[in-house]
Amino acid sequence: MNCIIIDDEAMARAIVRQLCSKIPELDVIEEFDNAISAIKFLNQQDIDVIFLDIHMPGFSGVDFVQTLKDPPKIVLTTSDTNFAIAAYEYECIVDYLVKPITQERFEKSIAKISSISSQKPQAKIDSKQDAVEGEDLYINIDRRLIKLKLQDILVIEAKGDYIDVKTEKEEYRVHTTLKKIKEKLPEKLFLQIHRSYLINFTKIIDIEDNSVLIAKNVVPISRSNRPELMRRLNLL
Partner 1 sequence: MIDQPNLNYVNELAGDDVEFRGQFIDIIKNEFPLEKEEYFGHVSNARVKETAEIVHKLKHKFNILGMENSYKLAVVYEMELLEGKHDSQSKFNEILETIEEYIKTI
Residues that bind partner 1 (CB under 8 A): 8-12, 14-15, 18-19, 21, 55, 57, 79, 99-100, 102-103
Cα–Cα distance measured from residue 200 to residue 195, given in angstroms and rounded to the nearest whole number: 15
- CB of 109 vs partner 1, minimal distance in Å: 15
User: Which phi and psi angles does 192 have, rounded to 5°?
Assistant: -85, 120
Nearer to partner 1, 57 or 160 (CB): 57
CB of 125 to partner 1, least distance (A): 28
Of 20 and 156, CB closest to partner 1? 20
Spatial distance between the Cα atoms of 127 and 171, rounded to a whole number of angstroms? 29
Instruction: Give the nearest distance from C-beta 10 to partner 1 in angstroms.
Output: 5
Query: How many CA atoms lie within 13 Å of 71's alpha carbon, on the beta-carbon side?
Result: 24
Is residue 5 a contact partner of residue 47, using CB atoms and an 8 Å limit? no
Which lies closer to partner 1 via its Cβ, residue 83 or residue 172?
83
The one-character DSSP state at 118 is P
Nearest to partner 1 of 161, 209 (CB atom): 209
CB of residue 14 to partner 1, shortest distance in Å: 6
Residues 6+ apart with CB under 8 A from 130: 188
Closest approach of Cβ 99 to partner 1, in Å?
6
Query: In this complex, which beta carbon is closest to partner 1, that of residue 62 or of residue 158?
Result: 62
State how beta strands 204-208 and 211-214 pair: antiparallel
**Using a CB cutoff of 8 Å and minimum separation of 24, what contacts does 218-224 make?**
219/155, 219/193, 219/194, 220/193, 220/194, 221/193, 221/194, 222/193, 222/194, 222/195, 223/63
**Complex with partner 1: residue 16 or 123, whichever CB lies closer:** 16
Min CB(60)–partner 1 separation in Å:
12
Query: Nearest CA to 148 among 173, 131, 130, 165?
Result: 165
